[in-house]
Structure 1
Amino acid sequence: MEVECIPFKETGYFSQLICDYLDQKKDLTPFFNRYPLPENFGDQIKEKAANYPKGHRSILVNSLKKQYKGIEAFKATQKNMDALSKETTFTVVTGHQLNLFTGPLYFLYKIVSTINLAKKLNKAHPENHFVPVYWMATEDHDFDEINYFNLHGKKVLWNKKASGAVGRLSTEGLEDVFEVFGAELGNLGLTESLKEIFKKAYLEHSTLTEATRYLANALFGDQGLVIVDGDDAELKELLVPYAKKDILDHTPYDKISETINALSNVSSDYNIQVNPREINYFYLKDDLRERIILKKGKYHVINTHIDFSKEELLEELESHPERFSPNVVARPLYQEVILPNLCYIGGGGELAYWLELKSYFDELGVTFPMLMLRNSALLITEKQSEKVEKMGLKVSHLFMKQHSLINKKIRGISNIDIDFTPQKRLLEEQFEHMYELAEKTDESFLGAVKAQEVKQKKGLDNLEKRLLRAQKRKLKDHVVRLTELQNKLFPNQSLQERQLNFSEMYMQMGDELLPMLLDTLDPFSQDFTILKHK
């Protein structure tokens, strides 16, 4: 196994905000608590220990044991759940949607990053215990985001009419998906193992929550992963006082809006990921998950005839907290209220919206977790790596935009130098003399000189492009081979991890896949990892 690394910011796939965060840019300091360096975890432990209510532990452990009823938890997971009752135990967390059959490959990377961070912390702080947690986004209601996965460039789709929280959806109808999945896999190699995993997860469990818990446990339970479902009445009781602050006082709306303005002032290049609402809760019941809004003095559930007075809403919240579902802004708070958590591990988009939340947490007196960018990886076979070398390129070059990569290759192998940079410099030098001449004679000619310079530069650009196109035609075989290889490793001109399902890699590597990831991915790495395998 060969490992190669390139800085995240050199891949071209990460936002300016995330690149600046990884560089620990001073201007971003107000938007996070502590940067996730090994030496900073000691202070984070002390702060969370002082700020996490002792009574929350017993509620958490009792809820987890109920959630695990009917599933065979690994000993490592049972040990970690029991350990959560002790004041010296803390968590590190990642979260993900209930994507069908894990969805994109980075589902694995998120959880592996979390497991490996817990392992490193257990070694560094033996006086404490650290538990890796996967938070299932069971209350999301965007079914179209999670009802498919990609296999061999095709979309394996669960055709179903759905509404309400996806975790409560019946798995009825997934037999058809299983047939499509099985037919696409065929009967070679490791297909039977994959079919068995899918079958046990989705055809032997009645809801999508149960199926996803089974699958994540089957893949990572031996590593002690604890899986949390936030759609839980007992856990939601802990959220009630914070939900009141949101619904009645609009605390997150005010604080996060201020933060968004402050972030925009740091850089106009920062894209805002989420905007807060005046009320950041949905009403959740049966097949219903709809926003709560204040309308004509009543708390109205949109797209329904449900209305509450202030008193009725508070009564409903106290009696049935499970019917109040936090949105993308309130869910992170919920997580940090119920867990003795130190660090959240997520992708670039997730960390971008977490950076909007710190002042909101501060206002409510909840410790803000450390934010760690999950590991990212490109899995490449030895054969593919050899092809790259034969083309005179490095794997890191494949991260370039396709047209730039092709141009680089064409320039590299062409016996004609198709780079007019020297000619452009010479042209600029000649025009400098013309500018001087115009200033000495008649300054009104400066505009005409400038126009002529622009025209001639444009002419050189067009000629350069035409010659490149001609060379591409002449060297078509090279272009085709390079394009095919990049398209294979970067499907749809996107990162492999965002497109491929883990089953494709499992077909190649089998039971070696997860151990390889666990052995090679370092959560403290500041680099994108390229893994060359047989």
Structure 2
Amino acid sequence: MPKDCIPYRDTGYFTDLILDYLNQDKSVEFLYHRFPTLENFGVQIQEKTKHYPNQNRKVLVETINKQYKNLKVSEATATHLKNLEKLNTFTVTTGHQLNLFTGPLYFLYKIISTINLCKKLKKEYPENNFVPLYWMANEDHDFDEINFFNFKDKKVVWERNSGGAVGEISTEGLENVYESFAKSLGSSPKAQKLKTLFKEAYLNHNNLTEATRFLAHSLFDVYGLIILDANEHALKQLFVPQMKTELFTNEATTEVEKTNAKINALAGKNYKLQVNPREINLFYLREGLRERIIKKNDLYFINNTQIQFSETKLQSELENHPERFSPNVIFRPLYQEVILPNVCYIGGGGELAYWLQLKSFFEKSGVPFPVLLLRNSALLCTQKQLEKLEKLSIDVDDLFLPQHKLETNVTKQLSNISIDLSSQRKHLRNQFNELYELAKKTDPTFEKMVAAQETKQINGLDRLEKRLLKAQKRKLEDHLNRVTLLQNKLFPNGSLQERTANFSEFYLEYGDSLLELLFEKLDPLQQEFICLELKD
């Protein structure tokens, strides 16, 4: 392979904020607690040990064991479940929506990054245990974001009405999705495995939470992944003090707005804020309902309903039914860190961007802010695709360029004439500099005439270069078509493969060796974009 690792900065797909975080830019140091190095995890472990109550661990273990009672577990998972009871055990967590059949490829990358980091930490800190944990985002209500996945050039969609938390949605209607998807797979042994996995997950379970747990468990149980549904009365009971503060003092909004103001005031930076807080960062959750809590005067209303509470009644509702309160994107990270013995959160660029807005809020709440780690990113290439790259005389990293720029670079590289007129522009500007000096010595009004002529001449060169480039592109049309076809295949719809493709497309061809390759090659602390060759 010509090049297997590419700095994130060179890909063009990551924001300035995330790039500056990875580069440990001094201007963003106030947004995070500790950078993800093996050495820093030792200090993080010590801090979490002091701030994680044993009672919270007991409730967590009881809840997870209850959720696992009907699942057959591997030796690795059984060990992790047992270790969670111990005071020297910590979690590394990633979260993800309940996307149909895992959704985009990066679902796998998140979880594999999490599992691999636990292995690294265990090797570095053998006196401690580390458990990889997948937090199911089953309280989300954005069904349209999760009701599909892409298989090759086809979008597999689950059409149905929805409302409330997606985890409660019935799997009714997925029989038709299964039948359609199964026809696309063929009848190979690997196809049969995919059919069985989809069928057992979605047709043998009643709701999306149960189906997703089964699916993730089937894929990663052998590696010891623990899957958590945090929408539980006992767990939310632990979070009542923080939710009470949020309902009646708006502490999160105040702290996040302060941080947002500091971000916006950074000199020479133009970071996009990922999230903005609401007055109350909690939803009210009932069957088929997840709506914002809004305060008007002295009353609390549930948006788009007739439900309302006085402050006293709302406090009573919270204390008696904490499971009816659901954190939004601002508040969920705090919930996670309160109920878990967590030392690290692994997420994508968008996730880390909103976590970076929360450090001040965590400090105000007295909860340790976890180490933030960008998940691994990868581009999967077949042997045939890599052979085509070599024949086309381009490297993998060239494919990360915008298509028009890629075509231009390839054209200039292959052309037998020079179509870069930069030297001519430089020569022309030098000549005009002499004319400017001459104009100053004669009549200063001539300078405008010289400037006009300079602009005319430079524009003429620009037009000539564009026409030369266009002519050469026509001459190399067949070669360029092969380049763009390959780029379109590896970067579907001009986006990263991992954000579009589903794992099933690759599993159908490579089976379990796909996961084996990812576990072998994805190093969570490497912090570079990796290109992986899929071997036949």
Q: Which range moved further: 416-425 or 100-109?
A: 416-425
Contact 1:418–1:467 at 8 Å: present in 2 too? yes
**Alignment-derived partner of residue 318 in structure 1:** 319
Equivalent-residue separation in structure 1 for 2:475 and 2:29 (angstroms): 53
Tell me, yes or no, if structure 1 residue 346 matches structure 2 residue 347: yes
1:73 offset after TM fit, Å? 2.5
Which runs of structure 2 are paired with 1:38-117 in the superposition (5 Å)? Answer: 38-117=38-117
Equivalent-residue separation in structure 2 for 1:337 and 1:443 (angstroms): 73
Which runs of structure 2 are paired with 1:246-265 in the superposition (5 Å)? Answer: 246-265=246-265
Tell me, yes or no, if structure 1 residue 241 matches structure 2 residue 241: yes
**Alignment-derived partner of residue 282 in structure 1:** 283
Tell me, yes or no, if structure 1 residue 503 matches structure 2 residue 504: yes
1:456 offset after TM fit, Å? 2.6
Equivalent-residue separation in structure 1 for 2:444 and 2:254 (angstroms): 56
Structure 1's 189 and 390: CA in aligned 2 closer, same or farther, altered over 3 A?
A: farther
1:215 maps to amino acid: L
Q: Which range moved further: 323-332 or 467-476?
A: 467-476
Which runs of structure 2 are paired with 1:56-455 in the superposition (5 Å)? Answer: 56-188=56-188, 190-266=190-266, 267-455=268-456
Q: Which range moved further: 358-367 or 74-83?
A: 74-83
Q: Alpha-carbon deviations, 1:149-194, whole Å to 9, x = none? A: 0011211000000000000000000001101111122224521111
SS of the aligned residue for 1:522 comes to coil
Equivalent-residue separation in structure 2 for 1:282 and 1:448 (angstroms): 67
**Alignment-derived partner of residue 4 in structure 2:** 4
SS of the aligned residue for 1:94 comes to strand
SS of the aligned residue for 2:93 comes to strand
1:306 maps to amino acid: I
Q: Alpha-carbon deviations, 1:102-147, whole Å to 9, x = none? A: 0000000000000000001011101000000000000000000000
SS of the aligned residue for 1:443 comes to coil
Equivalent-residue separation in structure 1 for 2:314 and 2:456 (angstroms): 69
Number of aligned pairs?
Answer: 534
SS of the aligned residue for 2:512 comes to helix
Structure 1's 65 and 451: CA in aligned 2 closer, same or farther, altered over 3 A?
A: farther
Equivalent-residue separation in structure 1 for 2:454 and 2:269 (angstroms): 32
1:241 maps to amino acid: P
Equivalent-residue separation in structure 1 for 2:448 and 2:69 (angstroms): 79
1:434 maps to amino acid: L
Contact 1:133–1:227 at 8 Å: present in 2 too? yes
1:459 offset after TM fit, Å? 2.4
1:284 offset after TM fit, Å? 0.3
Contact 1:3–1:531 at 8 Å: present in 2 too? no
Which runs of structure 2 are paired with 1:459-478 in the superposition (5 Å)? Answer: 459-478=460-479
SS of the aligned residue for 2:373 comes to strand
Contact 2:158–2:174 at 8 Å: present in 1 too? yes
Which structure 2 residue ranges, 5 or more long, are not aligned? none
1:471 offset after TM fit, Å? 1.3
1:511 maps to amino acid: D
Q: Alpha-carbon deviations, 1:310-347, whole Å to 9, x = none? A: 11110000010000000000000000000000000000
Contact 1:3–1:532 at 8 Å: present in 2 too? no
SS of the aligned residue for 2:344 comes to strand
Contact 1:379–1:532 at 8 Å: present in 2 too? yes
Consecutive aligned runs of 4 or more in structure 1 exceeding 4 Å deviation: none
SS of the aligned residue for 1:388 comes to helix
**Alignment-derived partner of residue 492 in structure 1:** 493
SS of the aligned residue for 1:259 comes to helix
Contact 2:3–2:397 at 8 Å: present in 1 too? no
Equivalent-residue separation in structure 1 for 2:294 and 2:445 (angstroms): 63
Equivalent-residue separation in structure 2 for 1:57 and 1:2 (angstroms): 48
Contact 2:2–2:396 at 8 Å: present in 1 too? no
1:513 maps to amino acid: L
Contact 2:93–2:132 at 8 Å: present in 1 too? yes
1:101 maps to amino acid: F
Structure 1's 245 and 471: CA in aligned 2 closer, same or farther, altered over 3 A?
A: same
Q: Alpha-carbon deviations, 1:210-254, whole Å to 9, x = none? A: 000000000001111000111111111111111111111110101
Structure 1's 453 and 189: CA in aligned 2 closer, same or farther, altered over 3 A?
A: farther
1:2 offset after TM fit, Å? 9.1
Contact 2:3–2:395 at 8 Å: present in 1 too? no
Query: TM-score, normalised on structure 2?
Result: 0.98
Structure 1's 443 and 241: CA in aligned 2 closer, same or farther, altered over 3 A?
A: farther
Q: Alpha-carbon deviations, 1:259-299, whole Å to 9, x = none? A: 01111222532111000111000000000000001123211
Equivalent-residue separation in structure 2 for 1:447 and 1:370 (angstroms): 59
1:196 offset after TM fit, Å? 0.5
Query: TM-score, normalised on structure 1?
Result: 0.98
1:460 offset after TM fit, Å? 1.8
Which structure 1 residue ranges, 5 or more long, are not aligned? none
RMSD (Å) for aligned C-alpha atoms: 1.3
Structure 1's 111 and 3: CA in aligned 2 closer, same or farther, altered over 3 A?
A: farther
Q: Which range moved further: 260-269 or 19-28?
A: 260-269
2:80 maps to amino acid: N
Structure 1's 2 and 413: CA in aligned 2 closer, same or farther, altered over 3 A?
A: closer
1:469 maps to amino acid: K
1:457 maps to amino acid: I
Q: Which range moved further: 453-462 or 148-157?
A: 453-462
Contact 1:34–1:370 at 8 Å: present in 2 too? yes
Contact 1:77–1:225 at 8 Å: present in 2 too? yes
Equivalent-residue separation in structure 2 for 1:254 and 1:91 (angstroms): 29
Equivalent-residue separation in structure 1 for 2:452 and 2:334 (angstroms): 58
1:526 offset after TM fit, Å? 1.9
SS of the aligned residue for 1:316 comes to helix
1:32 maps to amino acid: Y
SS of the aligned residue for 1:60 comes to helix
Give the % identical residues.
56
SS of the aligned residue for 1:85 comes to coil
Contact 1:163–1:288 at 8 Å: present in 2 too? yes
SS of the aligned residue for 1:190 comes to helix
1:382 offset after TM fit, Å? 1.4
1:149 maps to amino acid: F
Equivalent-residue separation in structure 2 for 1:364 and 1:211 (angstroms): 35
Equivalent-residue separation in structure 1 for 2:289 and 2:100 (angstroms): 21
